Structure 1
């Protein structure tokens, strides 16, 4: 074999090796990022430099408040009643009227409920009330509730065994995300309440239907203009993410698994709704081998009316989105893929403060029992 042939063979071999190496690099780069083993104490500093995620030697979850100085959203004086400014200013981000399963809550409130007193001839036991309750606790699309005033203490609560009650009241919610209470639903409420009253030997006193239906429409109009879910989309810059990779990074910032596949939540204070939720493709989460599923984006959401302003939910949403984007090599965008600037974030924060003020002014503060019932 001549020197030329040997040289060509070597060059060809090098070219072939280069092509194989390049294809392997492209394949590895395009594969979804998967769960990584947690580094040991001796390698935590290097790990933080490698993936951009701050770590702690005690392995505790990292909260957004650990990432630096909080950014306080602006406050406005006065109250803006209409939804126009709020809806327009939040147009760069996801703003939807979602309908989650209604929560079962006790505590009738004249602000958001039609209430009909039931006059008792004698005290009645909790067992008798429970036996007489209607099979369905709904009137159309609205929750129906019964409360009794306890003999001892005089508190109002849902009927319980072992208690005796000296007064009763029944109620139906005026409005929720399904709309306002209408004439048909009010009539159904009267029928259901009368049947319960007959079963326990009570005499109901119903309010005027036209007045209550008008009040329901007014409340529904207010709720429709002040209900919002705020969402930021995190998109991968280069390599896609596996569900495990997303879950691992989110867990480091305090998120825990939700009830539904592909959903994680950031818990709030005891008794409160989650502050934030993180969702991704449920089919990918339920795949036989989730680590082979490729996610190009996930959504961080805030149920605005369900989280108290004191939790600083938008500040935490903003900081968490930025921190996760840095940790997973992603960007923060609206639902159309447009990058969200700092100025846009500031405007959203200011509009949210106006919304919170309006809710406070109507005794429907975000995160309150009344607000969570109305906006459900």
Structure 2
């Protein structure tokens, strides 16, 4: 082999090695960022600097396992029929507690004349909780509205969901005036009367129903107010360059206090107050989260959402939403946009914050403060 041929062979080998190295570099740059990258110290200096300037740390926010908090009487339209709290309480009592000893009353909001039609059920004599539970209708809905029965405890005088082993001096039935499916209508009111009357007959009570026209008109007025003051905010965080893996997103979110939600691809920032809905939700592609190897799944965007009417004003949810979005964008090299992909400026966010303050004032003026049991039921 001549010197020329040897030289050309060497040059060809070097070129081939260069192509292979370049392809490997391109592949590594296009792969989603993973937890292993950070755990192995592979993060860039810029990423490490971003980590040091996060506005929240796990010490700043309450981190505990979040349990989903649903409105007691107002669940999602079209969702499966929820288990009735009274039936659950009765079943628990019959298995683990002597019914005669009773159990602590349910910690749940009761019927409220502000958002419910309430019909007193006059009793000739006291009735047992067991008899009330046995007479309850099979479903706790009237059309698209939640239906409930309460008893006035002989022992405490308080209204509560019926419980085994208790005795009640009075009963009342109610149906919610409005929710996100609309206002209570004539047909639903009539169905309420039929259902409540059948229950009353079973326990020997005499119902006193309010005027249908007045209640339906009240339902329409409440629904009109709710329609004009319902707010659900969402930010989209989009990757500027390199995509993210689900684990990479979860790691950054966890450092801000988020915990895994009930569904794949969902994390929540739980409230520090027991019984309250989560402050924020973070959602990404559920299929990516359930992939056989999630670390190889590439996410180009994630969504932050705030259910405004479900979170108390005192939690400053919008301010925290802005801070979380900014922290994630800085740490993961993302940009904050609206649903249409338009970047959100600081001025735009300031205007949104001002509008929310007006919304909170309007809700307060109707005794429907954001995060209250009544607001969570109405806006459901």
Which residue number corresponds to residue 314 of structure 2? 310
Q: 1:52 is matched with which residue: 50, 53, 57?
A: 50
Structure 1 residue 193, shift from structure 2 partner: 0.2
1:104-253 counterparts in 2 under 5 A? 106-253=109-256
Summarize the Cα distance change of 1:64–1:342 in structure 2 as closer, same or farther, 3 Å threshold: farther
| Runs (4+) off by over 6 Å | 45-48
Determine helix, strand or coil for the equivalent of 1:161: coil
Task: Answer yes or no: is the 8 Å Cα contact 1:232–1:332 preserved in 2.
Answer: yes
Determine helix, strand or coil for the equivalent of 1:321: helix
State whether structure 2 residue 65 is matched by structure 1 residue 61.
no
Structure 1 residue 237, shift from structure 2 partner: 1.1
Summarize the Cα distance change of 1:280–1:100 in structure 2 as closer, same or farther, 3 Å threshold: farther
CA distance, structure 2, for counterparts of residue 28 and residue 153 of structure 1: 68
Task: Answer yes or no: is the 8 Å Cα contact 1:64–1:316 preserved in 2.
Answer: no
CA distance, structure 2, for counterparts of residue 34 and residue 210 of structure 1: 61
Residue by residue, what CA displacement relative to the aligned partner does 1:325-367 show, whole Å, maximum 9, x if unpaired? 1111211111111111110110010001111111001110000
CA distance, structure 1, for counterparts of residue 198 and residue 138 of structure 2: 12
Which residue number corresponds to residue 335 of structure 2? 331
Task: Answer yes or no: is the 8 Å Cα contact 1:123–1:166 preserved in 2.
Answer: yes
Q: 1:320 is matched with which residue: 310, 315, 324?
A: 324
Summarize the Cα distance change of 1:171–1:161 in structure 2 as closer, same or farther, 3 Å threshold: same
Which residue number corresponds to residue 301 of structure 1? 305
Structure 1 residue 286, shift from structure 2 partner: 1.4
Determine helix, strand or coil for the equivalent of 2:35: coil
CA distance, structure 1, for counterparts of residue 249 and residue 47 of structure 2: 19
Structure 1 residue 293, shift from structure 2 partner: 1.2
Structure 1 residue 164, shift from structure 2 partner: 1.0
Structure 1 residue 261, shift from structure 2 partner: 1.1
Which residue number corresponds to residue 100 of structure 2? none
Task: Answer yes or no: is the 8 Å Cα contact 2:122–2:171 preserved in 1.
Answer: yes
Structure 1 residue 161, shift from structure 2 partner: 1.3
Residue by residue, what CA displacement relative to the aligned partner does 1:191-218 show, whole Å, maximum 9, x if unpaired? 0000000001000000000110111011
Summarize the Cα distance change of 1:16–1:245 in structure 2 as closer, same or farther, 3 Å threshold: same
Determine helix, strand or coil for the equivalent of 2:33: coil
Task: Answer yes or no: is the 8 Å Cα contact 1:231–1:300 preserved in 2.
Answer: yes
Q: Which structure is higher in RCO with an 8 Å CA cutoff and minimum separation 6? A: 1
Summarize the Cα distance change of 1:46–1:340 in structure 2 as closer, same or farther, 3 Å threshold: closer
Summarize the Cα distance change of 1:8–1:64 in structure 2 as closer, same or farther, 3 Å threshold: farther
Which residue number corresponds to residue 95 of structure 2? none
Q: Report the count of equivalent residues.
A: 339
Structure 1 residue 245, shift from structure 2 partner: 1.4
Structure 1 residue 2, shift from structure 2 partner: 4.8
CA distance, structure 2, for counterparts of residue 63 and residue 328 of structure 1: 21
